[in-house]
Amino acid sequence: MIFNNVDFETYFKHYPDQNGYFGKYGGAYISDELKNAMREIDEAYFTICKSAKFINELRRIRRDFQGRPTPITHLERLSNSLGNVQLYVKREDLNHTGAHKLNHCMGEVLLAKFMGKKKVIAETGAGQHGVALATAAAYFGMECDIYMGTVDIAKQAPNVARMKILGANVVEVTHGLATLKEAVDAAFEAYAREYKDAIYCIGSVLGPHPFPMMVRDFQSIVGIEARAQFLEMTGELPDAVVACVGGGSNSMGMFSGFLNDPVDIYGVEPLGRGTALGDHAASLTYGTEGIMHGFNSIMLKDENGDPAPVYSVASGLDYPSSGPEHAFLHDLGRVKYDVISDDETVDAFYTLSRMEGIIPAIESAHAVAYGMKLAKTMGRGSVLMCLSGRGDKDMDFIIEQYGMR
Ligand SMILES: *Cc1c(COP(=O)(O)O)cnc(C)c1O
C-alpha cells in the first residue's frame, strides 16, 4: 500500500535509514564515546539478530518462558453493550510478568549475551521496565544495574522489591529532583564508562539509533501474531487497530503488523487532567519538533525549550516525547493520534473489569476507552485493541484516588 508517497510494502527495508532516520526524526545525538558504543550495538544487531541461531533461540524463549503466543479475546459482552461494532483485545497482559515490556527486554538481553557482555544497564521510573529487565537478566544469568531516583524508589516499593528479589542492583540516584530524568542521565553516564562489558537496554522505541528500530523489531511479534490470529478468528482484518502511546513500544509492535493493510490505526495519548501544559503527556498531539535523550522527535517543551513537566494517571505514559517513528507516522498521517482523559480511562478500567473479567493496566485502559468511543461512532465493523498489560499494579491507587465503583 502506498500512502503519501511511502510504500508500506517495503517500509521496513527503508525505515529507518542507515543513520537511524524516519524522515527527519530519529538519529543519534550523543557524545563520541557513546557513538562508538551505539555503532557496536548496531553492527551486532545486523549480524547476530539476523542469524538463524539467534532467531530460533528467541522463538524458543518466547514460547517456553514468556508463554507466547498471547491470545486475542473477543469482548462479546462489552461489544453488545455498545452497539454493533465487535471489540477484540490482544492479551499482552498474559505475557510473562504481565505486560509487553518483556518482549524487547528478552531480545535485548539475548543480544547482550551473544555479544559476550556481562551486564545490562537501564533506568526506570515507575519500575515496570526495571522489573522486566531484571527478569530477563535473571533468566540469562547477567548482572543488572537499574538506576532509579530516590523519589521513585520511595513511591514504587513493590517494584523495587521485585527487582531485588530477581537479583538486580537498584542504584539510587539522589541529585536534582531524583526522578526519571536524573536516572536516565546517571544510567547513560554509567554506560559510557562501562560499555566494554555492559549494554544499555532502553525501555521503549526511544533513544539514539539503533534502539527505536531494535525495540520495534522485538515488539513486532505482537502485531505479527495479532494479524494472523485475527484473520484466523474472523476471516478478515480488523477495521481499526488501537494502542496506547507512552514512549510507543506496545503500539509500534502492534501497528507494525498492519501498516501495509487497509486498516485505520489509532495511537492514544494521555490527556491527564486537561490540555494545559503540565496536565497531560500528549506529546504527539500538542508537542513540537525537538531533540531530547539522544533523538529528534516531537516533544512537549517548557518556555526554555527543555522537556516540559508532564502528568498522567498512568505512570507508564507520562513521558514528554514519543519514539521518532511515531513522529514520522504522525506527520505522514498513516496513524491518527488522539487523546483520552484520566476520567475516561478510569471508567474503561472498571467497565472492562466488570463486563469481561479482565483488569487492565491503567495505561492499556486508555486504548480500551478509545476503542469503546470508536465503537459508538463507527456503527459497524471491528476494532482490535492492544491490552498492553494487566492492572494488578494499579488497583490500590485507583481505589484510593477514584473510589470503588
Ligand atoms: C510501560 C507501559 C506502557 C507504555 O510504554 P510504551 O512504550 O508506550 O508501550 C503501556 N502499557 C503498559 C502496561 C506498560 O507497562
Residue 343: C-alpha distances to residues 185, 314, 357 (Å)? 33, 12, 20
Please report which confidence band the pLDDT of residue 86 belongs to, taking 50, 70 and 90 as the band edges: very high
**Cα 32 to middle of ligand 1, angstroms:** 30
**Contact, 291 vs 324, CB < 8 A?**
no
* Tens digit of each residue's pLDDT (9 = 90 or more) over 49-66: 889 999 999 999 999 999
Out of 184-193, 235-244, 254-263, which region has the weakest mean confidence (pLDDT)?
184-193
Task: Kindly state if the Cβ of 245 falls inside 6 Å of ligand 1.
Answer: yes
Q: How close is the Cα of 390 to the center of ligand 1, in Å?
A: 11
Predicted local confidence at residue 77, as pLDDT: 98
Active-site residues, by number, are 101, 123, 388
Residues of the chain with CATH 3.40.50.1100: 2-62+101-211, 68-99+220-402
Angle at 323 between CA 93 and CA 194, to 5 degrees: 90
Cβ-defined contacts of 77-81 (< 8 Å, 24+): 77/355, 77/356, 78/351, 78/352, 78/355, 78/356, 78/372, 79/375, 81/355
How much of the chain exceeds pLDDT 70, in percent?
100
Q: Is 97 in the pocket of ligand 1 (CB under 6 A)?
A: no
> Is the pLDDT reported for residue 19 higher than 90?
yes
Among residues 100, 169, 97, 133, the alpha carbon closest in space to that of 393 is found at 97
CATH number of 2-62+101-211: 3.40.50.1100
Asked whether residue 179 carries a pLDDT value surpassing 90, the answer given is: no
Does 367 sit in the ligand 1 pocket, CB within 6 Å?
no
Nearest atom, ligand 1, residue 250 CA: 9
In this structure, what DSSP letter does residue 261 have?
Answer: S
Which three cell numbers mark 367?
Answer: 486504548
Pick the CATH number of 68-99+220-402 from 1.10.287.110, 3.40.50.970, 3.30.230.70, 3.40.50.1100: 3.40.50.1100
Residue with cell 533513544: 207
Pocket residue to mutate for ligand 1, from 162, 245, 249, most atoms within 8 A of Cβ: 249
Q: Does 248 contact ligand 1 (Cβ within 6 A)?
A: yes
Write the residue with the smallest CA distance to atom 2 of ligand 1: 316
- Residue length of the chain: 405
Distances (CA, A) of 301 to 149, 290, 297, 309: 22, 8, 12, 8
Residue 345 makes CB contacts below 8 A (sequence gap 6+) with 270, 313, 314, 362, 365, 366, 369
Give the global pTM. 0.97
